[in-house]
Amino acid sequence: MLAYQYRNNHTLLVIFISLALLFQPFIKIALGRTLWNIIDVVVAIFLLILLKVEHKDEK
């Protein structure tokens, strides 16, 4: 849903498309368990910050 809202922002669009490709199993990317855990945490923090900013903008 956030990707749809930010379609006019090219940078965020590229980030969301990259994340979708990274997390979809079209091609197996062997990064190791530790690196995947780090990526998961970083992406989760990024999305939470983005949601907070979006919620703040609505008020």
Is residue 45 scored above 90 in pLDDT?
yes
pLDDT at 8: 60
- Domain boundaries, position 30: 2-58
* Ranges of H-type helices in the chain: 2-5, 10-23, 33-58
pLDDT, tens digit, for every residue of 2-14? 555 555 677 788 8
- Output the CA–CA distances (angstroms, integers) from residue 29 to 21, 23, 25, 35, in the order listed: 10, 9, 8, 11
Q: What is the total count of domains within the chain?
A: 1
**What is the Cα–Cα distance from 39 to 29, expressed in whole angstroms?**
12
In this prediction the pTM is: 0.67
Structure tokens at 28: 């197996």
**What is the Cα–Cα distance from 26 to 51, expressed in whole angstroms?**
27
Q: How confident is the model at residue 16 (pLDDT cuts 50, 70, 90)?
A: confident
Q: How confident is the model at residue 48 (pLDDT cuts 50, 70, 90)?
A: very high
CB 3 within 8 A of CB 11: no
